[in-house]
Homo-oligomer: A and B are copies of this chain.
Amino acid sequence: MKLHPQEIEARFRRHAVRVTRQRTAIYAALAETTSHPSADDLYQMVKRQQPMMSRNTVYYTLSVLRDAGLVREVNVGHDMARYDGNVSMHHHLICLGCGQIMDVMDDDLNRLQLSSGQARGFDVLGHRVEFHGYCVSCRQARRDVPSRRG
């Protein structure tokens, strides 16, 4: 969703995040896409508009936005972190082939809870559900080039 700079600035101030050109651009890029980019993806995207932007600033900014609750960090596999501008409660559907991440909005999933026995005294603050599988194009690719195991 494309956001007006004023809206971004308002959100930053609401969350006590200092407003800078770089942060606004990073947050705008993240809000505009549904593709869950990595820090480096965002660096590449934003550098087109602001060639002076450094990779470090992207990492630092993402950590600031994450801590402020303006951005969500999604970890899939043990490779690089990916970021999500959608901080409302939702879950993910992940393609094991191409790594794309789709949002899943579902109230039943949002309501999942552990029984008190299962919780083992934990103060449970939230949960996350990931579905794994193959997207349409990766299913196709797998049919075309069968693996060693057939």
A37 to chain B, nearest CB (A): 14
Chain A contact residue count (CB 8 A cutoff): 36
Cβ of A93 under 8 Å from chain B: yes
Count this chain's copies in the assembly: 2
Cβ of A125 under 8 Å from chain B: yes
Are A123 and B118 touching (Cβ within 8 A)?
no
Q: How far is the CA of A135 from the CA of B125 in the complex (A)?
A: 11
Are B76 and A93 touching (Cβ within 8 A)?
no
Are A122 and B135 touching (Cβ within 8 A)?
yes
Are A134 and B125 touching (Cβ within 8 A)?
yes
Are A112 and B136 touching (Cβ within 8 A)?
no
Are B129 and A133 touching (Cβ within 8 A)?
no
